[in-house]
Amino acid sequence: MTVRLMEAALARVSGSRLLQTCNFSPSQEPLVMPEPTPSENDAILKEYNQLAASYDRRWRAYVDETVRVVIESVALRGDERILDIACGTGELERLLLARWPGLQIVGTDICEGMLREAARKAECKTVSWLRAGASDLPQPNGSFDCVLCANSFHYFRSPVETLAEVRRVLRPNGQFVLVDWCDNYLICKLCSLWLRLTDRTFFRLYTLPDCRRQLEQSGLEVVGADRFRVGWIWGLMRVVCRRTP
């Protein structure tokens, strides 16, 4: 059901405003970590492994608009270590490297099919692709200058643990940018109610104040937050944080 709702919305969204193209070596395979808990993630794995090959083509306009917002939100020199949680097919990595080729990026996702699509993108050869859940990241403490999470927080069954992991892997004063659907919008509230009944991959939406509260309780300082729309249906929020020492 999520797929049908998104495709209806995308029919009304204008084309991409991001023109650069790049990506990762087809010969490179994602590093496979132990599978996430099957009872929580089977539905997500099944749906998104099936969608992986057509994901970029079907959702191009929506992905381009939301990724553009993420990129506008980061303050980078160009040599930072970046972690992208639930990276999907690697479009964010592709466009980050088009602007800052010296970035060192790790992209994680639980879906091997999505990671394989990301690994085929020819100009992202410096990216490390890792199969891992958002609430149990294998990286060391303080290992990233910036953590990004776009279009996926509503899937996470363990948001508190996920945000604790974000804070753990960030260096002091490191950046965290979260972009996701927002329950402040009436149409998103209605979609949320429907998806809870019909789509096993969906977990829940948050209002901007609720999300901000969770971030602050996890030890992240919110330095900017706003809401925006993509097309006629998708109401989203952007929250920019830094890790307090």
What residue segments make up the domains of the chain, in order of their start?
2-243
Residue 104, H or E segment: strand 104-109
- Closest residue by Cα to residue 7 from 70, 50, 54, 73: 54
pLDDT (tens, 9 = 90+) of the chain, 245 residues, equals 444 444 444 333 333 222 222 233 333 455 544 444 454 577 778 888 888 888 888 888 899 999 999 999 999 999 999 999 999 999 999 999 999 999 999 999 999 999 999 999 988 999 999 999 999 999 999 999 999 999 999 999 999 999 999 999 999 999 999 999 999 999 899 989 998 888 888 899 999 999 999 999 999 999 999 999 998 888 999 999 999 98
pTM: 0.83
What 8-state DSSP symbol labels residue 53?
G
- CB-based burial of residue 153 (10 Å sphere; 0-12 exposed, 13-18 middle, 19+ buried)? buried
Alpha-carbon dihedral of residues 189, 193, 199, 200, nearest 10 degrees?
100
Its CATH architecture, for the domain 2-243, is 3-Layer(aba) Sandwich (3.40)
What CA dihedral angle connects 199, 203, 209 and 214, to 10 degrees? -170
Name the amino acid, one letter, at 155: Y
Q: Let me know: does 175 contact 145? Beta carbons within 8 Å.
A: yes
Strand 234-243 to 170-181 pairing: antiparallel
Which residue bears the tokens 């479009």?
91
